[in-house]
Amino acid sequence: MQTLRASDCGLSIALLSPAILEVIDTLNKAGYEAYIVGGGVRDLMLGLHPKDFDAVTNATPSQIRDTFGRRCRIIGRRFELAHVFIGREMIEVATFRAPPKKAQTSAMGMVLRDNAWGTIKQDFSRRDFSINAMYYQPLKDTIFDFCHSYDDIKQQKLKLLGDPVQRFEEDPVRMLRVLRFAAKLGFEIDEAMLKVLVPEMTVLLREVSPHRLYDESQKMFSAGHLTELLPLLIEYQVWQQLFADVPPHVSTFIERAAINTDQRIKQGKSINPAFFYAVLLWEPYLERVELLKEKGLSDVDARTQAGMDVLRRQALRTAIPRYSEHFIREVWEMQPRLISPRTRQIPALSTHARFRAAYDFLYLRENAGATDTHGMGQWWHEYQDLSTDQKEKVIQKYNRQLIRDKRKQQANPDAIVNDVKVHMDDGDDVVLSTVAEQARKKRSSFSSKSARVAAEIDSSLEHAVNRPDKKVVDANHPITRRRRKVREQFQVEMGRST
Query: Which residue out of 52, 141, 309, 458 is catalytically annotated?
Result: 52
Active site residue 66: no
> What is the spatial distance between Cα 352 and Cα 350, in angstroms, rounded to a whole number?
6
DSSP state of 17: -
Burial environment of residue 401 by CB neighbours within 10 A (0 to 12, 13 to 18, 19 or more): exposed
User: Residue 3: which of 215, 222, 150 has the closest Cα?
Assistant: 150
Query: Which residue out of 43, 54, 114, 145 is catalytically annotated?
Result: 54
Backbone angles phi, psi at 483, to 5 degrees: -120, 130
Active site residue 128: yes
Backbone angles phi, psi at 272, to 5 degrees: -115, 110
Exposure class string for 429-452: b at 16+ Cβ within 10 A, else e: eeeeeebbeebeeeeeeeeeeeee
Query: Which residue out of 128, 171, 262, 360 is catalytically annotated?
Result: 128
> What is the spatial distance between Cα 266 and Cα 459, in angstroms, rounded to a whole number?
79
DSSP code per residue over 82-119: EEEEETTEEEEEEE-B---SS-EE-TT--EEE---B--
Alpha helices (H) along 385-473:
388-411, 414-422, 429-465
Known catalytic residues are 52, 54, 128
